[in-house]
Amino acid sequence: EKDKELIRGSWESLGKNKVPHGVVMFSRLFELDPELLTLFHYTTNCGSTQDCLSSPEFLEHVTKVMLVIDAAVSHLDDLPSLEDFLLNLGRKHQAVGVNTESFAEVGESLLYMLQCSLGQAYTAPLRQAWLNLYSIVVAAMSQGWAK
């Protein structure tokens, strides 16, 4: 319950500004693993990482990611209801060439974004609360890779 309060409280302001926060998250992700950029086919003719990060299709994906996080936050009392959706989302990512190992870096990037935007409010219990939620989302998406 304490976890849920921490997550809801921190998402309240973040969730109002999804795209810029999502861009911080994905910029960090591509720093950790530049190869992931190549999975976005519409970025192949970008001049630089910065150009890609501001392409409309890319920003659309960022928005999609943030909406999934938003859905998880608003279903904290009812996460199993998202399982089918997340399993299918996992399948789509398997199809575009994402490996489940990349989720570790995605998680790190999520925490990095939270830390950047929350500052002092980014505490150890808050970090743990988000990690717990993230691991539930990843577990559900990972079902999409099961044979």
> Which residues form the interface with ligand HEM (CB under 6 A)?
36, 39-40, 57, 61, 64-65, 68, 89, 92-93, 96, 98, 102, 106
Q: CA 87 to CA 111: how far, in whole Å?
A: 23
d(CA 135, CA 147): 20
Q: Which is nearer to ligand HEM, 56 or 119 (CB)?
A: 56
Q: Is 4 or 92 the residue whose CB approaches ligand HEM more closely?
A: 92
The answer to whether residues 75 and 82 touch, using CB atoms and an 8 Å cutoff, is yes
Rank residues 34 and 123 by Cβ distance to ligand HEM and give the closer one: 34
User: CB 32 → ligand HEM: shortest distance, Å?
Assistant: 10
- Nearer to ligand HEM among residue 117 and residue 142 (C-beta): 142
Using the minimum distance from each CB to ligand HEM, give the nearer residue, 6 or 82. 82
CB of 95 to ligand HEM, least distance (A): 9
Contact 102, 58 (CB under 8 A): no
Q: Among 12, 145, 144, 26, which Cα is nearest to 73's?
A: 12
Q: How far is the CB of 120 from ligand HEM (least distance, A)?
A: 26
Contacts 24+ apart (CB under 8 A), 31-36: 32/105, 32/108, 32/109, 33/102, 33/105, 36/98, 36/102, 36/105
CB of 92: closest distance to ligand HEM in angstroms? 5
| CB of residue 80 to ligand HEM, shortest distance in Å | 16
